């Protein structure tokens, strides 16, 4: 690789620039090789030091030893721990998650096998890529990218128990939460920033308010918003379902306004359970008030809207029909692809 790196003159660009979409492209500036000082090389010459030996996860891995040393996932001993965290602690949980996946595979561990409570302010990417079996609870607040690439784990973020502010009007985490998440759950007691659930493709995420561009490019999973939303909600959203209270259509991306609909009976039952769990996990007074008046005269349920992209809705309907008809997995997949193609 060292011999090849940087030698763009070896690249054959003819197939790329001959394509009709690339007609007129001049790739020369992109492939230009700058003059190098004598003795310099085009490849990496100085090893990078990521400081992994200082990562908080090293402590977490030691604390989780009883679970990680099990022969099988079913034999893993439950682990409970409390750890202080600071904003210099980034990607907390990622190295621990790597150890779980390395030992037990993609299925991870039974839910909540490793359950760690943190106190303080977490740095960037708290809970990134965490697999099933790991639950990370944070009492304090977090920065951007909470739950980035979440792959089955559970994250709970709530204010410090001694805080005297109204959490529903305060930021509990930053921007770009659940970016590219494929599974798992995130419960957030408070408001979050922009690009909430961007590219979420499988996780359940609950927040009490979001900034601009919520659910941007979302392809799967579910988002529940128990507070206000910013502008351009659902831009590029092609899948997944969002349940939003008091949704202002003016804040929904113009291309998705036709995808806003009322809740079905199944939606109402599912949403009640999610709000109940949010209250249980975070102590949310917002959720408690909603639950107390769920079937009351004020019509809590009528305040919720469901955002479900039309093509995704057609795919789900095709899947349900195929399964009820007893079709095989491959036949069901074919029906779903037909629905996606036909819109």
The CATH number of residue 263's host domain is: 2.160.20.60
> What does the pLDDT read at residue 91?
98
Q: Residue 144 is encoded by which pair of tokens?
A: 């951007």
Tens-level pLDDT at each residue, the chain (343 residues): 999 998 998 888 888 888 888 877 888 898 998 888 998 998 998 999 999 999 999 999 999 999 999 999 999 999 999 999 999 999 999 999 999 999 999 999 999 999 999 999 999 999 999 999 999 999 999 999 999 999 999 999 999 998 888 899 999 999 999 999 999 999 999 999 999 999 999 999 999 999 999 999 999 999 999 999 999 999 999 999 999 999 999 999 999 999 999 999 999 999 999 999 999 999 999 999 999 999 877 789 999 999 999 999 999 999 999 999 999 999 999 999 999 988 7
Q: Is residue 266 part of a domain?
A: yes
Strand, helix or coil at 339?
helix
Q: Are residues 161 and 285 in the same domain?
A: yes
Q: Are residues 167 and 283 in the same domain?
A: yes
Question: Which residue, 25, 48, 71, sits at the end of a domain?
Answer: 48
Q: Is residue 173 part of a domain?
A: yes
Q: Are residues 159 and 217 in the same domain?
A: yes
Q: Are residues 287 and 338 in the same domain?
A: no
- Contact by Cβ (8 Å): 199, 269: no
Q: Is residue 232 part of a domain?
A: yes
Q: Is residue 119 part of a domain?
A: no
Q: Are residues 181 and 207 in the same domain?
A: yes
Q: Are residues 169 and 182 in the same domain?
A: yes
Q: Is residue 103 part of a domain?
A: no
Q: Is residue 16 part of a domain?
A: yes
> What does the pLDDT read at residue 296?
76
Provide the H-helix boundaries in the chain.
Answer: 14-18, 28-31, 57-63, 65-68, 94-104, 265-282, 285-292, 310-324, 329-342
What is the count of structural domains for the chain? Answer: 3
Q: Are residues 245 and 156 in the same domain?
A: yes
Q: Is residue 98 part of a domain?
A: no
CA dist list (Å): 260 to 104, 241, 254, 307: 41, 10, 11, 5
Q: Are residues 284 and 194 in the same domain?
A: yes
Quote the domain boundaries for residue 258. 144-307
What pTM value is reported for the model?
0.90
Q: Are residues 299 and 330 in the same domain?
A: no
Q: Are residues 173 and 221 in the same domain?
A: yes
> What does the pLDDT read at residue 299?
80
Q: Per-residue b/e over 79-108, b at no fewer than 16 CB within 10 Å?
A: beeebebeeebbbbbbbbbebbbebbeeeb
CA distance 291 to 132: 28
């Amino acid at each position: 690789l060292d011999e090849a790196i940087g030698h763009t003159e070896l690249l054959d660009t003819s197939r790329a620039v001959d394509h009709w979409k690339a007609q007129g492209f001049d790739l020369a500036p992109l492939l230009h090789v700058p003059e190098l000082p004598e003795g310099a090389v085009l490849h990496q010459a100085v090893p990078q030091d990521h400081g992994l030996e200082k990562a908080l996860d090293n402590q977490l891995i030691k604390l989780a030893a009883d679970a990680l040393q099990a022969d099988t996932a079913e034999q893993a001993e439950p682990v409970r721990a409390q750890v202080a965290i600071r904003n210099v602690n980034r990607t907390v949980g990622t190295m621990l998650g790597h150890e779980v996946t390395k030992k037990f595979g993609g299925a991870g561990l039974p839910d909540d096998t490793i359950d760690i409570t943190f106190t303080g302010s977490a740095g960037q990417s708290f809970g990134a890529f965490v697999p099933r079996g790991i639950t990370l609870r944070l009492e304090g607040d977090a920065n951007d990218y909470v739950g980035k690439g979440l792959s089955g784990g559970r994250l709970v973020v709530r204010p410090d128990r001694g805080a005297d502010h109204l959490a529903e009007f305060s930021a509990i985490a930053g921007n770009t939460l659940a970016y590219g998440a494929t599974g798992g759950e995130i419960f957030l007691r408070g408001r979050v920033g922009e690009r909430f659930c961007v590219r979420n493709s499988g996780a359940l995420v609950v927040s009490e308010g979001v900034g601009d561009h919520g659910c941007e490019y979302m392809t799967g999973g579910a988002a529940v918003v128990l507070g206000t939303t910013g502008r351009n909600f659902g831009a590029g959203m092609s899948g997944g379902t969002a349940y939003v209270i008091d949704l202002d259509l003016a804040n929904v991306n113009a291309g998705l306004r036709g995808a806003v609909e009322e809740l079905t009976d199944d939606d109402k039952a599912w949403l009640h359970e999610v709000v109940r769990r949010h209250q249980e996990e975070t102590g949310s007074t917002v959720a408690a008030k909603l639950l107390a008046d769920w079937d009351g005269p004020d019509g809590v349920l009528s305040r919720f809207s469901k955002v479900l992209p039309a093509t995704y809705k057609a795919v789900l309907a095709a899947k349900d029909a195929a399964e009820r008809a007893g079709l095989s997995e491959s036949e069901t997949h074919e029906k779903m692809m037909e629905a996606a193609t036909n819109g």
